[in-house]
Amino acid sequence: MSDLSAPGFPEEEVRRRARAGAAAAFPPPGEYGRVLFGAEHGGARWPEGEHDPLDTLRITPPVLMPQRLARLIDLGREPDYRDVELTTTIGGFTSALPVYVSALGSTRAAGGDLGLALSRQAGALGIPMVIGENVVPVNGYGRQGEAVDRALLGRLRAYAEQLPDGRGGVAVQQSTEDADAEVWNLVYTDPAALPLLESGRLAFELKLGQGAKPGLGGMTVLDADAAARVGDRYGLDDVFGDGRVLRSSTPGTFTAEILRQQIRLMRNNFPRARVWVKLHPGRDVAEAARVAAEAGADAVTVDGAEGGTGWAPEAFPAQVGLPLAECLRRLAAAGPPPCLLVSGRMWEGGRAVKSLALGARAVGLGRAALLATAEDPQTGLIRFAECLALELRLLISALGKYAPAALDRDDVWAPYFPGIPAAG
């Protein structure tokens, strides 16, 4: 055989594709449900010598701090980081932190005991939690003999049982397949959800896409028996050749007018529930956010292309969609919606403060929430949140401010954001 190698060319990857065929477009199917996909499969992968733009930004405290003086006068003493108040209104909910648990759907990594443990700890923290797409179609709602530990109702109850009065809230996401299962109707009419509904702590999140695979719908890997049971409802593709099948749902079709009408229907059909809208990191993300906010959405979530906890073709986390930093740039230039929520590799206070300064109301924990809970199912997420809260207080105090809402564009140095002058 001729020597066809060339320096820098991914020869082994080409050979792998020649051996595996269409299956090579995905991570190994045996990893589905056991591995959190995203960064290690291409998400947040930057060319050599380059870095995530959000990580390159600098937080820039001023020398002269009039807000610190105002705080000193209010307190009658010099303020410090312990005087930073982190309580934040998120999509109509009162949260103990400018943080929420972002959408965790039907993936096995978010189900069972781990999903319930995460729900309990998020409830105890008093931070909002999103129950992601596809839970009911895959695991059921939790009635009539369905296993409650994996079902939507199990997560809902585990969260609500720990929730402090007046704090937190649940947003139930709905994709096209969830709509077919009438998920929102199930929750809205369920007595188990009534305390949340009556206290204004229930939201429905319309999902237009996610950062792990912008423009695609939900994907899971099924064995042959499970695929046979749902073949009349979903697209099935035998790409793996080992008895496992790729199951895909449609992503849904949206225009500006369809989005307006959908929000109007949500308001009319579920008048006591908050309305959230989740956007993938598309090139028109600022326009889509504007349409959602003007139509009356209580929160607009933008999920950056930093990967995710679900299943996606490897080309997507690596090459499709805008990084979160660019989404924030475009949203800031256009004027962000009143309640902008963002997610994408949120795990420490610096990235959170930068996002808040660039227009976000709160940041979402996805992979970090799962990892923290897996480390300690009793208090792992709670302890993680304690560390994050301390970092937030230290950083916000260093800026001479004492609430997340006080952060603004002047608090970051962003020379790599074309179209937005570098502050200071």
Q: Closest Cα to residue 319, out of 358, 281, 347? A: 281
Q: What is the pLDDT of residues 100-114, one digit of tens each?
A: 999 987 776 677 789
CA 277 to chain centre: 11
Q: What is the pLDDT of residues 159-174, one digit of tens each?
A: 999 999 999 999 999 8
User: Rg of the chain over CA atoms, in angstroms?
Assistant: 22
Rounded CA-CA distance 231/414 in Å is 49
Which residue has 């080992």 as its token pair?
Answer: 242
**How much of the chain, in percent, has pLDDT values that exceed 70?**
88
Half-sphere exposure of 303 (CA within 13 A, CB side): 29
Backbone dihedral angles phi then psi of residue 131, each to the nearest 5 degrees: -90, 115
State the CB neighbour count (10 A cutoff) for residue 52. Answer: 18
Contact assessment for residue 123 and residue 160, using Cβ atoms and an 8 Å cutoff: yes
Q: What is the pLDDT of residues 307-365, one digit of tens each?
A: 776 678 888 887 899 999 999 999 999 998 999 999 998 999 999 999 999 999 999 99
Q: What is the pLDDT of residues 236-280, one digit of tens each?
A: 888 888 888 888 888 889 999 999 999 999 999 999 999 999 999
Q: Give the CATH fold of the 26-44+52-216+251-413 domain.
A: TIM Barrel (3.20.20)
Q: How far is CA 74 from CA 383, 396, 401, 407, in A?
A: 31, 18, 13, 19
Judging by beta carbons within 10 Å of its beta carbon (0-12, 13-18, 19+), is residue 17 exposed, middle or buried?
A: middle
Q: How confident is the model at residue 4 (pLDDT cuts 50, 70, 90)?
A: low
Highest-confidence range of 19-28, 142-151, 166-175, by mean pLDDT? 166-175
Structure tokens at 420: 């937005």
Rounded CA-CA distance 307/317 in Å is 5
Q: What is the pLDDT of residues 114-129, one digit of tens each?
A: 999 999 999 999 999 9
Q: Closest Cα to residue 381, out of 27, 35, 139, 114? A: 114
Prediction pTM value = 0.89
